[in-house]
Amino acid sequence: MDGLRGAPAVLKEVWEAGFRYVSSKAWGPDWTLPALLHNPFTYAEDGFPDLWELPCSGWHDNVLKFGMGNQPVRLIAFPAPYPEAVPLKPIETPEEEIAINRAFIDRALAGSYTHLSLVWHPRSITRFDPDMKMLVETFRYAQSVGMQFATYEQLWKMMIKQQTPSTEQQGNYSS
């Protein structure tokens, strides 16, 4: 899944609805998980140079916690691109999720990606970790290694200012 690339009719609808950024690239190759790290890009090749994609990365947390044992999920099995972030079974503790999040944070920083946007669902978080330990510890770790925080709108504005949608962009932001 490459976001909305190759779907100019959809991109036109998104543009005409007033959106200037989307986050539709949230899966790995061939609809697998985890979603790999990617830098933001524009849809210039599809005729929308000012429409940005701000990709998601990692696991959809509801699948990581609950879905793996109950429904089929396509995983990137071999070669595993991030073996340290692929559990052998559904996670059972916030600490396990924190370790997986740390692996993605470390990969994002080591690879000079411009941002990391983990896929979290409020209902999944509150069911699994009502005390929000995972969020607190993940944000604490990201801050301790120098990651800055931004909303999607803030990240989009930074990308516009840089106007260089490529893998050469610098700065690590968690959105």
| Residues 143-153: tens digit of each pLDDT | 999 999 999 99
Average pLDDT over residues 145-168: 83
In this structure, are residues 40 and 115 in contact, taking their beta carbons and an 8 Å threshold?
yes
Q: What is the pLDDT of residues 27-66, one digit of tens each?
A: 888 888 889 999 999 999 999 999 999 999 999 888 888 6
Q: Are strands 118-119 and 57-60 parallel, antiparallel or unpaired?
A: parallel
The rounded distance, in Å, linking the Cα atoms of 68 and 38 is: 24
Domain range list for the chain: 8-174
Residue 85 has pLDDT above 50, yes or no: yes
Amino acid code (one letter) for 39? N
What's the predicted TM-score (pTM) here?
Answer: 0.85
d(CA 100, CA 131): 18
